[in-house]
Amino acid sequence: MTHEFKTPISTISLAGEVLSDESIEKTPASVEKYLKIIKDENKRLAGLVENVLQAAVLDKGQMKFKVQECDIHQIINDVIQSLNLQIQNKGAVITTELNAQRYSLFADRMHLGNIIYNLIDNALKYSKETPQIKISTYSDQGGISISFQDNGIGIRKEDQKKIFETFYRVPTGNIHTVKGFGLGLSYVKAVVEKHTGHVEVESEPGVGSTFLVYLPFINTLT
């Protein structure tokens, strides 16, 4: 985790030193470039702090929920839309099979949007060259299931339970490809469980992963 904090701190510090070092020649364009780096890294740092604070709130069970009627299919489509740039950059193909007959439930829209975002974002990040992601929904009498299937790097059996723990990251030695510090899936689990649901994963290294989220129509929030 320290790596994620130390890099933006070093960058902001270095940009400040370069800007104030009179022996380094600067043009208006280079000053603008360094100021933009400071702003961007500050934003990145603020996001990291926010994540850690959110983890503390999760840990204490103090997360706030605003319950309203939510259209799950609409949320899925909105999240895909918001990830459009990442999808294009990765050359990913996302298909949806939104077959749930009943797809409306009382829940916190923002948190549901966030967990769907986290699961699609992970599928994009932990992928091979061309991510193929399939999002499906189906419903039964009790609730709605949302499945996120990818053809990514997969997760070893021994890591499959641990990935939902706060700050857990699958060990990769010193190979550092995906930034983050292991909060996304613990957040997903906490939000789903607050909605009286559950989340599980099936995965095979080198083949891909499927995350399954089940949300009952009647939950403790309502």
Partner 1 sequence: MTATPEEKTKILLAEDDESLGLLLKDFLTAKGFEVQLCNNGKKAFDAFSKGTFNLCVLDIMMPEKDGFTVAKEIRILNKHIPIIFLTAKSMKEDIIEGFNKGADDYITKPFNTEELLLRIHAVMRRVKPAGDDKEEFQIGLYHFNYKSLALEFKGKHEKLTTKEAELLKLLCIHSNNVLDRNFALKAIWQNDSYFNSRSMDVYITKLRKYLKEDPNVQIINIHGKGFKLYIEKE
Name which position in 66, 161, 176, 198 contacts partner 1 (CB under 8 A). Answer: 176
- The answer to whether residue 9 forms part of the interface with partner 1 (CB under 8 A) is yes
CB of 150 to partner 1, least distance (A): 19
- The answer to whether residue 3 forms part of the interface with partner 1 (CB under 8 A) is yes
* Closest by CA position to 181, among listed 7, 39, 38: 7
Tokens 């800007």 belong to 19
**Plot region of 71 (φ>0 → left; ψ -120 to 50 → alpha; else → beta):** beta
> Of the listed pieces 45-53, 112-120, 143-151, 173-181, which binds partner 1 according to CB under 8 A?
173-181
Q: Cα separations (Å) of 133 from 43, 90, 124, 200? A: 29, 12, 8, 17
Radius of gyration of the chain (CA): 20
Contacts of 106 (CB under 8 A, 6+ apart): 67, 68, 69, 70, 219, 221, 222
x-marked contacts with partner 1 along 27-46 as a string, rule CB under 8 A: ---x---x--x--xx-----
> Of the listed pieces 14-22, 81-89, 112-120, 143-151, which binds partner 1 according to CB under 8 A?
14-22
> Of the listed pieces 109-117, 120-128, 169-177, 180-188, which binds partner 1 according to CB under 8 A?
169-177
Determine the size of the site formed for partner 1 (CB under 8 A).
26
- Cα–Cα distance, 157 to 169 (Å, whole number): 14
> Of the listed pieces 16-24, 45-53, 99-107, 209-217, which binds partner 1 according to CB under 8 A?
16-24
201 and 155 Cβ atoms separated by less than 8 Å: yes
Question: Which residue, 11 or 160, has its beta carbon nearer to partner 1?
Answer: 11
Name which position in 81, 88, 101, 174 contacts partner 1 (CB under 8 A). Answer: 174
- Cα–Cα distance, 101 to 37 (Å, whole number): 48
Q: Which residues bind partner 1 (CB under 8 A)?
A: 2-3, 6-7, 9-11, 13-15, 17-18, 21, 23-25, 30, 34, 37, 40-41, 173-177
